[in-house]
Amino acid sequence: MANASDGRPVAYINARLIDPSADTDQRGAVLTGDGKILDYGANLFSGGAPYGIATVDCRGHCLAPGIVDLRVHTGEPGEEHKETFDTAGRAAAAGGVTSMCILPDTEPPFDDASLIEFVARRARQVQRTKMYAYGALTLGLKGEQLSEIGLISEAGAVAFTDGDRPIASAQLMRRALYYAKTFDALIVQVPQEPSLSTGAMNSGELATRLGLGGNHKLAEAIQLERDIRLVEMTGGRYHASKISTAEGVDIVRRAKARGLKVTCDTAPHYFALNEIAVGDYRTFAKVVPPLRAESDRLAVVEGVSDGTIDCIVSDHRPQDVESKRVPFALAEPGVVGLETLLPIALELYHNGQMTLPRIWQRLTTTPSRLFKLPGGRLEKGAPADLVLFDPDIAWVIDPDKFESKTGNTAFDERPTQGRALMTVLDGRVIHRDSSLWPETVAA
């Protein structure tokens, strides 16, 4: 296969071109060179690619901007037995993800500019996908003292958060929003009021029958209402992550209608599963916040569909067997998601709830815009970060075949449709599913 990384122009022809910015889904082609998109469109190479240009015949499959994943936990540094930058990068490439933002809750946490630089250095060494780092919002993720947002921003942090640990103090969040506004920095919070979110699963009848402590859905609503009041007071930029309840969707919808700088995301497990997935104490379905009721799941689907929920993230959190093969209440939360993000998101398309361009807006264009990242769009001069995928191919999720170091997925053995055939980063092929997509580039 001719290697597109040598800088020569490469034409991707006969593609079903998914352009989220233009909201179009049409036959077309893309021309790349020197790591950039040189041209693209419906009429490009309609008469065939010029002689001498390396060509990829996409055979009518979908070609779209590579996925920009805003929420990835890695085990590196500190828990390399769960995941490393290398294995996370392999999993991302296999899932069509070309950019990912790494959460700061590692050991040590990213509360210093040198650790942001460490992530950038490791990303250059690994060369799998583009990796960006969040800065920790508070020193040591303790929720007590703000980190140096200005210095960490200058080092390259894309946003600030304490990961899955919500900021309990309203005074501290107020100061964070004021302080971050000076640097136009984005504050990201998983809205869970701490005293109401200590349980292992969603609060309700099922939790009672299983004898498990409940996490009340009002934990999300109360924290969101408080934070949005503080956004209104300070004028800061605020992003709520992992919206899981109907009330949460409604609160964000009303905040946006008032013109506040509030955005949000959710993860596939919140629109594809409900609390029943916990089943018989199934720890692989334990996440933070917990899976909610079916009415909440449907509200999240509606929120993603109507644009109230701006982004879809993988919420990739690898956990080893020792962390999951314990009683439910003691099990560590989290699922791996880099390799299931695309097929589960495509269920919204197969269920008739969203078009492919609209799904790709949530996966690429909007996350890239909110976090000021270079990828996520089809545009002349933009990075040649692309994913070629078949939205209809049927397969069954098998964690034993994951590139990720662990297999803690809530979607084990789930029949699904859609898979990445090839992933391209800066014009370089970083993943090709050899079982589905044999060598195709001809000079």
What's at 163, amino acid-wise? G
Q: How far apart are the first and last CA of the chain?
A: 9
Q: Any idea which residues carry the catalytic annotation?
A: 315
Contact call for residues 72 and 314 (beta carbons, < 8 A): yes
Neighbouring residues of 372: CB distance < 8 A, sequence distance ≥ 6? 158
Instruction: Give the number of other CB atoms < 10 A from CB of residue 237.
Output: 20
Note whether 278 and 201 are within 8 A (CB).
yes
In 55-164, which ranges are continuous DSSP H helix?
Answer: 85-94, 113-126, 149-154
Tokens of 9: 């122009």
Give bridge partners of residue 63 from the DSSP assignment: 17, 388
Give kind and range of the element (H or E) at residue 421. strand 415-425
Number of helices and strands (H, E) in the chain? 14, 20
For residue 183, what are its two tokens?
A: 């640097």
Question: Are 239 and 265 spatial neighbours (Cβ–Cβ below 8 Å)?
Answer: yes
- Asked if residues 353 and 301 have their Cβ atoms less than 8 Å apart, the reply is yes
- Rounded CA separation 229/255 (Å): 9
Phi, psi of 173 (to 5 degrees): -65, -40
